[in-house]
Chains A and B, each alone.
Chain A
């Protein structure tokens, strides 16, 4: 069988199929359906220094081929995660990427420092791209200098593999990618959700409690793919592709565009087995096609002369 393992920073992941933060809970919910240790990694819900109650409802609404969410980073807080959830994830043998969110540079660094000491966290993913919170989040992700500074601060706080999750809600995502690479990120993951809105015509008001929300699902895949393609050309660090990956063919598109690994997000809601199915289908595809190494396949997009 083909070796699907990928190197990102210090970490060797057994395969390139990860789950996306915010769509996989703390991982445990999915262990009812399958053995989550089979995945390259599971990225848990964004963690902050203190617990966050999240936004008032409604928080979710379906849109054509996609969905809007405005959860507002509801989470149990990093200490509770380390105390109550991480040990169970370790028992399950899951490779864990901890997604981190803060309101300030210092807060990001503090959360990362706590995770740095935690056993069973393989990598840290910085969320500098959440569109659904007022402070922090996107403020860092939309400005190359602020992005650089927060990544530098976190880089000092952890030895672990550091992934930075980028927002598509910017003029030029490659600028941000380059800035965080220079600041010491081991990898960039993209894209987070696209900012969107739905209006209830009868009531003349926004459907979501927080007015706007993040769009995800198949609707955003072409945008995500384009951005992964552009960023892959600009940075040397591995790129993790995210955005509307529902099937192994979607994943193949991201690999061709230059992604070293992919994260399955919204698909987890549609079918809890999605990530596992994508992994198995990829293995079969590579075997059937006689492709011996994933690294040869990654970025092997034929370029059209222009």
Chain B
């Protein structure tokens, strides 16, 4: 974890409301897919708090250390970020959170992302593909305009990546969890399969239900309001079921990735 200032290299619109921002950093820091950063890109104290975003990539690009992340314009902070140009400075804290490490013995991975959830799912998918795993990705959006126009999505073949839209304006028509259900029905070796999902609460509730019904080990990447991102404000807690009862754990520190069977998702 490091706290630093980076320089915007590019800030590209990749869907109706999402941007992919690339920031040049001093060096590439080790990170795990699924980890996140806290970002501020404005002067003064209004907006006040930094905003959390999943790390999309952090690597050398044309000899420069480049950190990239996806954000969706939802409020004043992200609206300001959407207006940043090459050369603008942003404050970054990260990498933060636990990130995802595939448990031993898993060979087949099914990943599902809903809405902006793709920004946490794709880095995990990429790292699993790179380590030679069998990976299937399902991304759901409400409509075609929400589908991110980024390399991973554009280059993937249909056997690897399935895209669904609620209105059928792109890819398969329907809800992503319905397609996920069909996918899970066909899973042969359940104990060698792992399910990973990120998306809105209603989707994650459904994923939890499917995970339990099909008996497949499942991990969820959660979002929450947070002030600091590194464990001190205690603002981002969720309920985790343990043997000693329910305890409140921080999405920013113990998460953002949790075992599906142990976290409570509130719609």
Q: State the A residues within 8 Å of B (CB).
A: 22-25, 29-30, 32-33, 45, 53-54, 56-62, 64-67, 69, 71, 74, 217-218, 246, 266, 268-273
Majority DSSP secondary structure for residues of B touching A: loop
- Is B40 interfacial (CB-CB < 8 Å)? yes
> What residue in chain A is nearest B227 (Cβ atoms)?
A269
Interface majority SS (helix, strand, loop, mixed), chain A: loop
Are B228 and A268 neighbours in the complex by a CB distance under 8 Å? yes
CA distance A53 to B238 in the complex (A): 11
Nearest residue (CB) in A for B230 is A29
CB atoms of A60 and B235 under 8 A apart: yes
Q: Tell whether B168 is near chain A: CB-to-CB under 8 Å.
A: no
Contacts of B232 in A (CB 8 A): 23-25, 29-30, 268-269
B199: Cβ under 8 A from any A Cβ: no
Residue of A nearest to B45 (CB): A218
Cβ 8 A contact of B91, one of A23, A62, A271? A271
Docked pose: A268 CA to B233 CA in angstroms: 9
B45 proximity list for chain A (CB < 8 A)? 65, 217-218, 246, 270
Q: A33-B3, A246-B45, A269-B227 are in contact. Are A60 and B236 (CB under 8 A)?
A: yes
Contact residue among A33, A57, A60, A62 (Cβ-Cβ distance under 8 Å from B238): A57
Residue ID in chain B nearest A267 by CB atoms: B45
**Which residues of chain A have C-beta atoms less than 8 A from B237's C-beta?**
54, 57, 59, 74
A303–B9 Cα distance when bound, in Å, is: 51
> With A71-B235, A269-B232, A272-B93 in contact, is A60–B48 under 8 Å at CB?
no
Q: How far is the CB of A60 from chain B (nearest CB, A)?
A: 3
Alpha-carbon distance A23/B247, docked complex (angstroms): 21
**In whole angstroms, what is the CA distance A192 to B266 when docked?**
30
A74 contact from B3, B49, B234, Cβ within 8 A: B234
Closest-CB distance, A264 to chain B (whole angstroms): 13
Is there a chain A Cβ closer than 8 Å to B248's Cβ?
Answer: yes
Residues of A within 8 A of B225 (CB): 57-62
CB <8 Å contact, A69 and B46: no
Q: Is B46 a contact of A67 with CB atoms below 8 Å?
A: no
The interface centre, meaning the residue of B236, B247, B248 with most chain A CB atoms within 10 A of its CB, is B248
Q: Quick one: closest A residue to B40, CB to CB?
A: A270
Contact between A266 and B235 (Cβ–Cβ < 8 Å)?
A: no
B1 contacts which chain A residues (CB < 8 A)?
Answer: 32
What is the bound-complex CA distance between A131 and B238, given in angstroms? 21
Question: Contact at A62–B235, with CB atoms within 8 Å?
Answer: no
Given A59-B236, A65-B48, A67-B227, 7 additional A-B pairs, CB 8 A: A22-B233, A23-B233, A53-B246, A58-B235, A69-B233, A246-B45, A269-B227
CB distance from A47 to the nearest CB of B (A): 14
Query: A217, B48: Cβ atoms under 8 Å?
Result: yes
